[in-house]
Amino acid sequence: MGFLSFFFSLFKPKKETLRLLFLGLDNAGKTTILNAMSDLPVQTVAPTQGFNMKTVDHSKYQLKCWDLGGQKSIRQYWKNYFGQTDGFVFVVDAADSRRLEECGVELQKLLEEEKLSGLPLLVYANKMDLPTAMKPDEVALALDLYSIRDRAWQIQGCSAIKNEGLQDGIGWLVTQIKE
């Protein structure tokens, strides 16, 4: 970095930081979504053991994204990350209809958490590139999203592998947080 670059970086306005949680069952695509949003490889992603934290730039905001493992044995620890959260993302594998009931149970538990009360919710219906994927409105019905009355929510169809629908969803979430 040259002197002038360094000098001008001192006067560059700092981006406002927002803290987001990425939750969902194992194999839903949380880490793959964050990798796609960070321009990192998406083809070989290992299951998250514990958590990952990635910082993603979005417009004039810096998003600190906490990606929490979704295995059944890890879900009991999700609550340790609920404090000081601005919004949360629940990722669903829209091509795995067998696990939608389990997704609904876990999402309902999250919606009842006091520390998440009133926070905007973005649901990514991921893996829309697969032929067996349910449409976002079908996922919304299966998760009973239309009964949510205590917060703003949005379902967004996406494909992490193809990086489709991700920016639309995160843009909606950031707008809701800032309103």
Which positions are annotated as active-site residues?
Answer: 71
Q: Hey, what are 157's tokens?
A: 């169809």
In terms of DSSP H, where are the helices of the chain? 3-9, 30-37, 72-75, 100-111, 136-142, 166-178
d(CA 64, CA 56): 7
- Return the half-sphere exposure (C-beta side, CA atoms, 13 A cut-off) of residue 93: 16
Q: Which residues pair with 16 in a beta bridge?
A: 61
